[in-house]
A and B are shown apart, each in its own frame.
Chain A
Amino acid sequence: MTIDRIRTEGEMEYRFTHPDDFRDHVRDRKGRSPVPKLVTEKEAVAAFVSDGDYIVYDFSSLTRGPQSLIREVIRQRKKELWIGAEFTLHESPLLVGAGCASRIDVGFLGYGNYIGQAVCDGRVKAYEWTNGGLALRILAGARGVPFLPTRDMLGSDNMKVSAAKTITDPYTGDPVCLVPALNPDVAFLHVHQADVFGNARIFGTNLFALEAALASFRVIVSAEEIVETDEFRKDPMRTTLPYFLVDAVVHAPFGAYPGAMPARYEIDLEHVDRLNAIRTDERMGRYLEENIYSVADHDEFLDRRVGAKRMRELRRRATIIEGYR
């Protein structure tokens, strides 16, 4: 491609890895041997998340989000994280409010005034890739190519405040948008079932679970339920991730709380309303203290802050099981 084919270029910084550098990482650092990888949230985050990392997650704050892992990142007071944020209603405000995240690729910047104000105050930088653009970047990372073309974002202001480029398509001669591959440092995926080696199953829709696992340097799976490997071999159409993509498996019942896990438990709307009502640093501080810093881990959080009675009630409300198994 000659440089004169480039028509417009976005001005913002962006995370990028040469596909060969990612392949080298996969060759040298990703294990192919099926070894047990079951660890706690604390161990997984300590071992696989570093200050400055780029993190992506799936699916949304209210449905199958990796909330126990997000809380552990906050508990371990990670710094300068860059997050790829699609259906991020609560993760962005919590990670920014706790001083963990300083850059966000948007996506959809939720939720409400707290995170909006943080952007206005310059406490966090936001770059606009759009949901489709970010998903495509991760797909490019997963396909081992440096970029992918798309026929959206074109003509919009998102082109300027990302690092997307418009080029002349060598096949049609028309303008086309290119987005660079994204290879995140870490992907968090909360799943219905996993075995100890990392084979994993999601029931229901997702954003880019397989793409994110393929594209990321390190992959942490948290699972509602740990099952035998034979379960995957009996029904391979239902496998979302094969074990060799995964670096750590955490057994995390109610790992998506206060969001829902489809067919397992419903959203805790009261808790979600408390999150949505956070407008000030003082309220944010109180929430973080009560729900994250003051408890040692996810088990203690469930035990002392949620309670068995509440969990039973949320399980009882998950009446739609058709389509999930």
Chain B
Amino acid sequence: MRTIEFTDTEFMIAQGARLIEDGKTIFVGWGIPQVVAMLAQKLYVPNVTQLFEFGAIGPQSVLPFVRGTMGGPQNTYRSLQWLDMNWAFSYSATGYMDYGMLGALQVDPYGNINSTHLGGTFASPMRRFAGSGGGNQVASHCWKTIIVIKHEGRRFVPKVDFLTSPGYLDGPGAREKAGLPRGTGPHRVVTSKALFGFDGETRKMTLLSVLRGISVEEVVKDMAFRPLLAPEIGEIPPPTDDELRVLREEIDPDRFIIRGEKMSATA
């Protein structure tokens, strides 16, 4: 029995990378989702086609990860096609994007994302953040949206302070009623402790599995809403040696992205 030491961020990125399917397309948001897609492409899914919102189609980003930017030569290296934003969102709007992957400030039981402000009102917020970027389009158009978010209780709220990018809005059928493309919506919520899906009937967030060694109670106790629980809660292994090596040596040697709270679990 061997103990693996890692950060909560490393676990979040690694378990996110394991979800991506080979031979599919994925619309990748700015920041952590870029790193998840890089790790996945390097270790698991050589034939995934990534798409960035400014029109990089099929990039094979150069490692190490260049933080802060997305549009530079490193991140758009050896793309299949270089275009612009109106064309990029055409690929998602017509249904060619299997997955979308986004970060979030807050998420609610229906997978609605807030990335605009916390507290106060829109006109007079307590704290103001970047806003949608292209997240609204990704969450609206892609067949399955994966949300990547740190497992901090205050981020899981009964109702988001501002609905930036749509999940299932206020329940079953709401997306279609609002005019969003049929059959789309949030698919998984990847956190630094657990993995959630969405119940097919109620569209509510459902705990699917937890990091090995963590109890269900530990995962749900500080969330501001109680998620549904899958009939059987799975166990997610910690980051593998390969995942940690690629993250630490190849993707982020300066540890700008992967630093975080220290954790351990048995391999």
Supposing A151-B179, A204-B76 touch, asked if A108 and B163 sit within 8 A by C-beta, the answer is: no
Which of chain B's residues 69-110 have a Cβ closer than 8 Å to chain A?
Answer: 69-74, 76-79, 82-86, 89, 93
Are A175 and B132 in touch, CB under 8 angstroms?
no
Q: Does A98 contact B (CB under 8 A)?
A: no
The residues of A that contact B179 with a CB separation of less than 8 Å are 151, 154-155, 166, 169, 174-177
> Does B245 sit within 8 A of A, measured CB to CB?
no
Q: By the criterion CB–CB under 8 Å, are B141 and A152 in contact?
A: yes
CA gap between A63 and B82 in the complex, in Å = 14
Interface check B136, CB cutoff 8 A: yes
Q: A120-B126, A154-B140, A206-B55 are in contact. Are A132 and B73 (CB under 8 A)?
A: no
- With A108-B131, A131-B132, A153-B140 given, is the CB distance from A205 to B71 under 8 Å? yes
Do A152 and B73 form a contact, CB below 8 Å, given A128-B131, A132-B89, A206-B84?
Answer: no
A272 touches B68 (CB 8 A): yes
Q: Kindly list chain B residues whose C-beta atoms are within 8 Å of the C-beta of A106.
A: 130-132
Residues B73 and A211 in contact, CB atoms below 8 Å apart? no
Cα(A186)–Cα(B267), bound, Å: 58
Provide the A238-278 mask, 1 if CB < 8 A to any CB of B, else 0: 00000000000000000000001011000100001000100
Which residues from 170 to 196 on chain B have a C-beta closer than 8 Å to any C-beta of chain A? Answer: 174-175, 177-181
8 Å CB contact of A109 from B53, B56, B130, B135: B130
Tell me the interface secondary structure of chain B in the complex: loop
Residues of A within 8 A of B73 (CB): 204, 260, 262-263, 318, 320, 323-324
- Do A131 and B178 touch across chains, with their CB atoms under 8 A apart? no
The answer to whether B116 and A128 touch across the interface, beta carbons within 8 angstroms, is yes
Interface residues as binary, B116-147 with A (CB distance below 8 Å gives 1, 0 otherwise): 10001011111111111111110011000000
- Residue pair A208, B134 in contact (C-beta under 8 Å): no
Q: Are B137 and A130 in contact (CB under 8 A)?
A: yes
Q: In the complex, which residue of chain A has the Cβ closest to the Cβ of B141?
A: A152
Q: Is A87 an interface residue (CB 8 A)?
A: yes
Q: Check: A33 CB closer than 8 A to any chain B CB.
A: no
**In the complex with contacts A63-B71, A151-B180, A175-B178, A132-B130 CB distance below 8 A:** no
Instruction: Report whether A208 and B140 are in contact in the complex, using a CB–CB cutoff of 8 Å.
Output: no
User: Would you call B136 and A59 a contact (CB within 8 A)?
Assistant: no
CA distance A267 to B130 in the complex (A): 22
Q: Are A155 and B85 in contact (CB under 8 A)?
A: no
Interchain CB contact under 8 A, B84 and A205 = yes
Compute how far the CA of A133 lies from the CA of B137 in the bound complex, rounded to whole angstroms: 8
Q: How far is the CA of A130 from the CA of B163 in the complex (A)?
A: 12
Q: How far is the CB of B76 from chain A (nearest CB, A)?
A: 6
User: Once the chains bind, are B83 and A116 in contact (CB under 8 Å)?
Assistant: no
With A87-B71, A151-B179, A151-B180 as known contacts, state yes or no: A126 contacts B128, CB within 8 Å: yes
Q: Are B134 and A109 in contact (CB under 8 A)?
A: no
CB-based nearest B residue for A175:
B179
Question: Using a Cβ–Cβ cut-off of 8 Å, how many residues does chain B contribute to the interface with A?
Answer: 59
| B57: nearest chain-A partner, CB-CB | A205
Is the C-beta of B54 less than 8 angstroms from some C-beta in chain A? yes
Say yes or no for B162: interface residue by CB 8 A criterion. Answer: yes
Whether B84 lies near A323 (C-beta < 8 A) is no
- Bound: A33/B123 CA distance, A: 47
Q: Does chain B have a CB within 8 A of A102?
A: no
B174: chain A residues at CB < 8 Å are 155
Cβ distance A200 to chain B, nearest Cβ, rounded Å: 15
Contact flag A131-B116 (CB < 8 Å), given A116-B129, A157-B122? no
Does B62 count as interface, using CB distance less than 8 angstroms? yes
**A182 contacts the other chain (CB 8 A):** no
Kindly state whether residue B164 has any CB partner on chain A within 8 Å. Answer: yes
A322 at the B interface (CB under 8 A)? yes
Decide if B124 touches A155 in the complex (CB within 8 Å): no
Q: Quick one: given A152-B141, A154-B140, are A62 and B125 in contact (CB under 8 Å)?
A: no
A175 to B132, CA, bound (A): 21
Shortest Cβ gap from A38 to chain B (Å): 27
Residues of A within 8 A of B164 (CB): 128, 156-158
What is B's interface to A at a CB cutoff of 8 Å?
30, 52-56, 62, 66, 68-74, 76-79, 82-86, 89, 93, 116, 120, 122-137, 140-141, 162-166, 169, 174-175, 177-181
25 CB contacts below 8 A, A to B, read A62-B68, A87-B71, A89-B68, A106-B130, A116-B127, A126-B128, A128-B132, A128-B164, A131-B85, A131-B132, A131-B137, A135-B84, A151-B179, A155-B180, A156-B164, A156-B166, A157-B164, A158-B132, A158-B164, A207-B84, A262-B73, A267-B69, A322-B77, A322-B78, A324-B73
Q: What 8 A-B pairs are tightest by C-beta distance, nearest first?
A: A175-B179, A155-B178, A152-B140, A132-B137, A108-B133, A320-B73, A130-B132, A116-B128
Given contacts A119-B128, A150-B93, 12 further A-B contacts (CB under 8 A): A59-B71, A60-B71, A87-B71, A108-B134, A116-B127, A120-B127, A128-B164, A131-B134, A156-B132, A205-B76, A205-B84, A211-B86
